Amino acid sequence: MAFVDVVRAVAGQRGVRLPSASHPEPLAHLEYAEEWRLKNEAVRAFWKQHGLAGELREVVAAPTPRGYRWTSKRRALARRAGLALAFSGDAGARPGVAASALDPPEHLALYAHLHLQLDRPVSAALVAQLNYIIVRGSAGSLCAILNLRAFDAAIVRRAKQIAESLQSAGLGVRAAFLYLDPTSSDYYLEARRPTGILVWKRLFGPDWLEVSVDGRRLRFPPVVFSQVNAAMLPVLTATARDLLRPLEGRLLLDLYCGYGLFSVSLGDQASRVMGIDAARENARRTGLAGKARFRAGRITAALLASAGGSHGAQLALLDPPRQGTEPGVIHAIARRAPERALHVFCGTDEIPRGLEEWRRAGYRAASVVPLDLFPGTAALETLVLLAPHERRGSVPRRLTHGHRVHG
């Protein structure tokens, strides 16, 4: 049974009414204390159902359970009665902007402004090619991205006119871009890139976004993945640090490191950092360049075998995309013999398969910490600390950071 089905089953047992399974925010109507209790019971039921090992801790609650999204999106649907900016999968959406309890007010205001600009005859050619509108950032520092199947001179000209309206609207928009996605991918920023042609175009503003975590400012391109819940980033990094400690005297192998969230936040305690993805600039800006080494590339067993740095005490941290690791990657990590490995699962349904791979590679789940990174939805981010079967060393029993909901 998938985790979302377990959530719905537990809700039924508790007499909690939920909207249809297709609803994009199925838990957002609940008081957060009720949602938190529901998720705790559901994750325990999921763990028991799959016979999973490890010390399962309480769900770490979100400090901002509503209006938290740092990245939001709407699919553009051209209707005879007008343009609908809808959630993915809502084929029957009515014209207008789909409401949300999880998007912040500044995102909703920006969508409303863009809807007014786009729902006009002069924008018809642009709308005909429009997949998504993506809004990223927080109040006063927003970025708007128009994801298009194609764009030509006429579409770019109209987009620039809309960009001018954004700069004068007082909505706190600091940048806007066009992003080419001819595949109409549901990933909206992470589709397979076409080659030999322009894939994104800046309309105005800086070509980077910025988040602040643990007193450090981290920058990355507007089309790079970042966690949707910026308020939970300090909780996420603090939890990872507490689970992996001690870091001193060890190499931190940070896989799927992206713009370097974990490399930068944990790297000051480790003796060295080796990240595989693309975080060089943030390492330089935050003073880690002297002991950090980064390598770009798709993470495969072959890449890990050639990565080097496999001698000496080391820790592994991997935060793969929702679909999980490629075949052989977990076994390749295990062959490096890390003292501990921290696997961040952004899809709960991937956990049974992932833990079975770790078991066959010689590692056991020691501590499990679910984080409510996606409040209002039936999803969790789960951190699993793994240790070699033959080693029974101490494991942190208590986290020093996090939030608990009472009531």
The average pLDDT across 257-276 equals: 87
Among 52, 42, 48, which residue's Cα sits nearest to residue 353? 52
| Digit-coded pLDDT (tens) for 351-389 | 999 999 999 999 999 999 999 999 999 999 999 999 998
Number of Cβ within 10 Å of residue 243's Cβ equals 21
**How far is C-alpha 188 from the geometric centre of its chain's CA atoms?**
13
Q: Tell me the C-alpha distance between 248 and 269, whole Å.
A: 5
CATH topology of domain 32-65+229-388: Rossmann fold (3.40.50)
| Second-level CATH architecture of 71-212 | Beta Barrel (2.40)
Q: Which has more pLDDT, 398 or 91?
A: 91
Confidence of residue 286 (pLDDT cuts 50, 70, 90): low
**Weakest mean pLDDT among 46-50, 74-78, 132-136, 319-323:** 319-323
**C-alpha to C-alpha distances, 126 to 121, 173, 174, 183, 264, nearest whole angstrom:** 10, 20, 22, 16, 40
The average pLDDT across 103-122 equals: 98
Contacts with 163 (C-beta within 8 Å, 6 or more apart), sequence order: 176, 203, 204
Span(s) in the chain for CATH 2.40.50.1070: 71-212
For the chain, the maximum distance between any two Cα atoms, rounded to a whole number of angstroms, is 68
Q: Tell me the C-alpha distance between 98 and 84, whole Å.
A: 8
Q: Which has more pLDDT, 240 or 301?
A: 240
The average pLDDT across 70-99 equals: 94
Mean pLDDT of the chain: 89
Span(s) in the chain for CATH 3.40.50.150: 32-65+229-388
The DSSP bridge partners found for residue 298 are none
Task: Enter the tokens of residue 324.
Answer: 């999980």
The DSSP bridge partners found for residue 85 are 76, 97
pLDDT value at position 407?
Answer: 44
Among 85, 101, 105, which residue's Cα sits nearest to residue 93? 85
Is the Cβ–Cβ distance between 268 and 241 less than 8 Å?
no
| Digit-coded pLDDT (tens) for 212-266 | 888 888 888 888 888 999 999 999 999 999 999 999 999 999 998 888 899 888 9
pLDDT value at position 161?
Answer: 98
**Weakest mean pLDDT among 31-35, 46-50, 183-187:** 183-187
pLDDT value at position 197?
Answer: 58
Taking 70 as the threshold, does the pLDDT of residue 46 lie above it? yes
pLDDT value at position 343?
Answer: 98
pLDDT value at position 400?
Answer: 42
Q: Quick one: what percent of the chain has pLDDT higher than 70?
A: 87
pLDDT value at position 293?
Answer: 62
Contacts with 322 (C-beta within 8 Å, 6 or more apart), sequence order: 346, 347, 350
pLDDT value at position 264?
Answer: 87
The average pLDDT across 336-360 equals: 96
The average pLDDT across 277-305 equals: 65
Taking 80 as the threshold, does the pLDDT of residue 342 lie above it? yes
For the whole prediction, is pTM greater than 0.85? yes
